[in-house]
Amino acid sequence: MCRKKLLLISPLPEEYIHRLAAHFPHLVIADCTQDRDRVLDEIRDASYVFGRPTREQFLAATRLEFIQVWTQGVESILFPELLASKVIVSNGKGVWSPAIAEHILAMILALYRAIPTYLSFQHEKRWIQKGVTLDRLAGKTVCFVGTGDIAMHTVRLLQGFDCAIIGVNRTGAVPPGFAKVVGREGLLDFLSLADIVCCALPFTPETYHFINDAAFSVMKNTALFINVGRGKTVDENALIRALQEDKIAGAGLDVFEQEPPAPDSPLWTMPNVIITPHIAGLDLEHSSRAFDLLVDNLQRIMENRPVRNQIDKSRGY
């Protein structure tokens, strides 16, 4: 009987690869993390994949059962052939959310406390105590557009600030920690109530440019906008217009429609915008969490148990 093969595409520290081999001695482990040219050959008889195969690579696979993607978004691998297949796909929910939640909090506090402004003063060796608007997070109303794992981790942090938490999601279901939630048809009503709008949507055809001119037009002119979900869920030109026309007070952005943004994008130089390069989910433990998820799911498959984080391929998340 042929031994099953695990193909590694996404990077894993060498220590974890050795631990995989020790934990699953009956598996053939093909490590292509440093040699992507071998993936097309190795995937042909692979049963499990850790990483995101291309369409060409997926079509070459003849025995594939399971793909573990370590990112939260999976849209890049949802080609028609995968959607039509029986291959199970699991995403990295829980791997990135703890760090993203703290990143959201850091951006909000930095904007409220004018940290970018004071950093510029520091670089210029200027001591300025007056003329800068400072605010507090305590007691603010925060609206999450997308109430999944990222939102849930962030809500727990916001509870210490006595914030009112509202949300918008596909069904209107109310997760723990939320005061009120509406379906997507209630988006504009809820945005008008928020001091902070945090977009944590997955990218699907339905969420493309979900936050647009209409959305920004109803936000408070004192509102902060945070995007840590997917860049294409926000109409970036509409966001730029909202900032330029003072329809909102500021933005913290970790994701963009085009990454990196074009060199001439006004977002780079706006004093009320914080940009980070799609790194909100990184911390010293993310590789460990991804490894633990992979091990757990491989064990579950071998024992015919449901995997964690299995996505609904028809919905894209």
For 191-215, how does the pLDDT look when each residue is reduced to its tens digit (9 = 90+)?
Answer: 999 999 999 999 999 999 999 999 9
- Give residue 167's domain range: 97-275
Nearest to 144 by CA among 80, 229, 267, 43: 229
Q: Is the dihedral of CA 115, 121, 124, 125 positive or negative?
A: negative
In a domain, 90, yes or no: yes
Do 109 and 81 fall into the same domain? no
Predicted confidence (pLDDT) at residue 1 exceeds the cutoff of 70: no
Confidence of residue 63 (pLDDT cuts 50, 70, 90): very high
**What is the overall mean pLDDT for the chain?**
96
Edge to edge, what strands does the sheet with 273-275 contain? 180-183, 164-169, 141-145, 196-199, 224-227, 250-253, 273-275
* 118 and 262, same domain (yes or no): yes
Q: What is the pTM of this model?
A: 0.92
Q: Would residue 313 count as lying in a domain?
A: no
Tell the residue number behind the tokens 């829980």, with chain if given. 94
140 shares a domain with 82:
no
**How far is residue 257's CA from residue 231's CA, in Å, rounded to a whole number?**
4
Rounded to whole angstroms, the Cα distance separating 80 from 16 reads 32
Q: How many residues does the chain have?
A: 317
Same domain, 109 and 67: no
pLDDT at 82 > cutoff 80: yes
- At 35 the pLDDT is 87
Instruction: Single out the residue of 183, 195, 191 nearest to residue 212, CA to CA.
Output: 191
pLDDT for the residue 260? 97
Average pLDDT over residues 59-81: 94
- Contact by Cβ (8 Å): 281, 99: yes
Confidence of residue 11 (pLDDT cuts 50, 70, 90): confident
Residues forming the active site? 230, 259, 278
Q: Judge whether 52 lies within some domain.
A: yes
Task: Report which DSSP code applies to 268.
Answer: G
Q: What is the pLDDT of residues 128-179, one digit of tens each?
A: 999 999 999 999 999 999 999 999 999 999 999 999 999 999 999 999 999 9
Answer yes or no: is 307 within a domain: no
Q: The domain spanning residue 127 has which CATH number?
A: 3.40.50.720
The answer to whether residues 240 and 292 belong to one domain is: no
